Amino acid sequence: MGVIAIAALALLPQVRTDAPPADWKALATEYDLAFERWVHSIDELAPDAERPVHPASTFWARFAELSDRGEGRATLWLLANRGNVPSAPSAADLLARVRRGGEDEWVGSAVFELAAAREAFDSKALTGFLEERMAAATLDPVRARAALALAVVVEPQDAARAAYLRVWAAMLAYQGIDLAPGEELARADLDELAGRVIDAVQKESDAYFELAYRAGADGMYYPVSGAPPDPEALWQAVVEELAARGSTRAQLWALAHAPWELDDAARQRLRGFLESVVQAPLSEEDLRAFGWQGGLVHRLGLEAVEPCIRRLIEKSSDSARPGLLFGLGDALCEAAGEDAAQRERGLAVLREVRERWPSTDEAKRAEGRIFRYSNLVVGKTIPDFETVDADGNAFRLSDYRGKVTVVDFWGFW
């Protein structure tokens, strides 16, 4: 997805901050360009230089005027940028602006921003507004998102209510049903609901990047003003709640989409999901979810992951084993660091894939990993190669043998 490009800052249009009120598209574009220039100005600062004022300070009044005229996306912008403007109006003012949105669909995005900034708001006022939206809104997406926001607000004091609100929001949004207080879903119903949520999130996530980011003149990607909330961030806690209630589909998704760094409680919860998944009957599609286990090893530790994967391999069909074994061998090598014995264990698994299933894609991938982990590791001489420098002159890496050499591969993905 990435583009590697160098562009002069002069290519960016100059921004007029004293311009008269504009429509949403014009003002949002103007601000986005100003934000891009601001990012570049920070990158060029000396370490001890004073940081320039965030452009949101300059644009605040103009977005506030658009908000006053009923433009919901401008209100979303105010919510998202409140922390960037020291003189921003009170949280109560912003809550009042969202309240004026009534039944408008953008209010569903606004409540997500309200929950994210909950510490800034009066808890009673915020809770009351979200409960009101849950009960009174006629648009199910607004009601569901109000429930998700309310779950975030009440969770520190009432985890059970937060859990109920998340399942209620999922049932409303994807089944069109109001879940009654205390009502429990059967295992099959949990899996069906989790599947609907996950399928929708994956579909929305595929389109999200183009909605939320734009390519700048330098090839970097910058956020777009007024973008909707990230669907994965919006529904992740719901999927995790369904996983905690026993949905295998949700557990698989939670394992694959967990944050890279976890606290002890989250790590233990995910280890429990892994143990549960290994004991459940899994389809070929489910087993493919374990095709790459490096992320699991990083998050949960090799000592937790390897025994589970080996148990999966033992009970899997022959067609599923190449992918599982490839993932295990790759994970063992990736996590080995300078542990040569562990790396050799991983290489042995990769060789098994190559030799037992030679015609599979996994065997081809294993061949590449065997070369990588046998040659591109600390202490080995890097294989020679030929390329061209920035001026188009050909050279070989071996031309620099005996000299300190840094080889930097980079790009945007």
Encode pLDDT of 249-299 as tens digits.
999 999 999 999 999 999 999 999 999 999 999 988 888 777 778 889 989
**Three-state SS at 221:** strand
Structural domain span for residue 308? 258-380
Task: Of 144, 122, 125, give the one whose Cα is nearest residue 133.
Answer: 144
Helix (H) or strand (E) holding 53: none
Average pLDDT of the chain to the nearest whole number: 89
Encode pLDDT of 25-73 as tens digits.
999 999 999 999 999 999 888 888 898 999 999 999 999 999 999 999 9
Whether 120 maps to a domain, the answer reads: no
| pTM score of the predicted model | 0.83
Whether 300 maps to a domain, the answer reads: yes
Instruction: Check: CB of residue 211 under 8 Å from CB of residue 233.
Output: no
Task: Say how many domains are in the chain.
Answer: 1
**Would you tell me the crossing angle of helices 248-257 and 264-279 to the nearest 10 degrees?**
140
User: Span 348-359, mean pLDDT?
Assistant: 96
* CATH number, domain containing residue 376: 1.25.40
**Dihedrals phi, psi of 215, to nearest 5 degrees:** -80, 125
DSSP per-residue codes, 253-321: HHHHHS-SS--HHHHHHHHHHHHHHHHS---HHHHHTTS--HHHHHHH-HHHHHHHHHHHHHHS-TTTH
Residue 11 burial class via C-beta count within 10 angstroms: exposed 0-12, middle 13-18, buried 19 and up: exposed
**Three-state SS at 208:** helix
Whether 341 maps to a domain, the answer reads: yes
What is the model's pLDDT at position 22?
Answer: 67
With a cut of 50, say whether residue 3 has pLDDT above it: no
User: Span 336-361, mean pLDDT?
Assistant: 95
Hunting for tokens 């997805």 — which residue is that?
1
Encode pLDDT of 101-140 as tens digits.
988 889 999 999 999 999 989 999 999 999 999 998 788 8
Whether 101 maps to a domain, the answer reads: no
User: Span 330-358, mean pLDDT?
Assistant: 94
Whether 166 maps to a domain, the answer reads: no
Whether 281 maps to a domain, the answer reads: yes
Whether 346 maps to a domain, the answer reads: yes
**What span, in angstroms and rounded, lies between the C-alpha atoms of 300 and 254?**
13
Whether 277 maps to a domain, the answer reads: yes
Instruction: Check: CB of residue 116 under 8 Å from CB of residue 106.
Output: no
User: Span 340-352, mean pLDDT?
Assistant: 96
What is the model's pLDDT at position 7?
Answer: 35
The C-alpha torsion from 378 through 380 and 386 to 392, rounded to 10°, is 30
Encode pLDDT of 149-177 as tens digits.
999 999 999 999 999 999 999 999 999 99
